[in-house]
């Protein structure tokens, strides 16, 4: 069973391996009016700052919550302006009504929603928004590429495991986020995007996946080499915009 500490073992690998979120996501957030200079953002599970950086660049002040000590150290090196809390969202101290937006970027599935949702609701201003997004590495609606066939073969060799983390689709996640009646969905926006990756980039990215082992990562890299050295990948980034009820 993977654990969230996986990311903390190699912060520079995480930073180098994960591609930035797509421009279309940031454009949607800008259109929603949540990237305005001066707004106060809470970045939950900030990692090495894939969301923190663009939030700061847009002129927001950012409080970042990150329990991984090594990740947090790297985040502070990269973004000294951030107000950093080395803690889990479940435990961190937050000022009531202290934030205009809360962000969980590819991190909500590591958190206990029963504990976290009331805390986020209390930390948000009355008209605040909770923005939950993640990148799904592999778009099930895109046509199957030779590389994705090879990925399917690698994953298909695994013994079946029971993973107790929330791994449902976006609709299921939206339901879980609203089930307690504290938040309502304002909109769900889905960005589909593509990226060309070479062998080294595939090795670096797949090594950041908490459910991939070293041999599997090596096999994915070998597949890229066999397929000519570069593969086009298709990804999906669903964004769930929530408002307090």
Ligand X SMILES: C[S@@+](CC[C@H](N)C(=O)[O-])C[C@H]1O[C@@H](n2cnc3c(N)ncnc32)[C@H](O)[C@@H]1O
Binding site for ligand X (CB under 6 A): 4, 7-8, 18, 44-47, 50-51, 65-68, 71, 88-90, 105-107, 110-111
Pick 8 or 233: Cβ nearer ligand X: 8
- The DSSP bridge partners found for residue 132 are 104, 240
* CA–CA separation, 29 and 192 (whole Å): 15
* CA–CA separation, 175 and 184 (whole Å): 9
Q: How far is the CB of 109 from ligand X (least distance, A)?
A: 8
Q: How far is the CB of 137 from ligand X (least distance, A)?
A: 11
Pick 89 or 191: Cβ nearer ligand X: 89
Pick 105 or 177: Cβ nearer ligand X: 105
Q: How far is the CB of 24 from ligand X (least distance, A)?
A: 16
Q: How far is the CB of 6 from ligand X (least distance, A)?
A: 8
**Joined tokens for residue 62:** 């950012």
Pick 55 or 223: Cβ nearer ligand X: 55
Long-range contacts of 73-82 (CB under 8 A, 24+ apart): 73/11, 74/11, 74/12, 74/15, 74/48, 74/49, 75/46, 75/47, 75/48, 75/49, 78/15, 78/48, 78/49, 78/53, 79/49, 79/52, 79/53, 81/56, 82/46, 82/49, 82/52, 82/56
Q: Is 231 helix (H, G, I), strand (E, B) or coil?
A: strand
Q: How far is the CB of 226 from ligand X (least distance, A)?
A: 28
Beta strands in 112-229, from DSSP E residues, in sequence order = 124-133, 183-198
Q: How far is the CB of 210 from ligand X (least distance, A)?
A: 8
Pick 35 or 223: Cβ nearer ligand X: 35
Position of minimal CB gap to ligand X: 47
Pick 113 or 142: Cβ nearer ligand X: 113
């Amino acid at each position: 069973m993977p654990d969230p500490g996986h990311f903390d073992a190699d912060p520079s690998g995480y930073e180098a391996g994960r591609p930035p979120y797509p421009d279309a996501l940031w454009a949607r957030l800008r259109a929603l009016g949540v990237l305005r200079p001066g707004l106060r953002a809470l970045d939950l599970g900030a990692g090495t700052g894939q969301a923190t950086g663009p939030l700061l660049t847009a002129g927001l002040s950012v409080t970042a919550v990150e329990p991984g000590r090594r990740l947090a150290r790297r985040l502070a090196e990269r973004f000294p302006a951030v107000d950093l809390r080395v803690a889990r969202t479940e435990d961190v101290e937050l000022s009531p009504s202290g934030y205009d937006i809360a962000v969980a970027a590819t991190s909500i599935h590591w958190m206990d929603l029963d504990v976290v949702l009331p805390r986020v609701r209390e930390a948000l201003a009355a008209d605040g928004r909770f923005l939950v997004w993640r990148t799904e590495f592999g778009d099930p609606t895109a046509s199957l590429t030779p590389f994705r066939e090879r990925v399917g073969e690698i994953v298909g060799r695994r013994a079946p495991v029971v993973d107790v983390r929330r791994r449902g689709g976006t609709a299921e996640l939206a339901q879980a986020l609203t089930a307690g009646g504290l938040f309502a969905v304002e909109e769900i926006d889905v960005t589909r995007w593509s990226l060309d990756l070479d062998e080294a980039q595939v090795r670096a990215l797949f090594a950041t996946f908490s459910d991939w082992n070293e041999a599997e990562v090596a096999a994915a890299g070998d597949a890229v080499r066999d397929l000519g050295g570069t593969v086009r990948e298709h990804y999906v980034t669903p964004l769930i915009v929530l408002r307090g009820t």
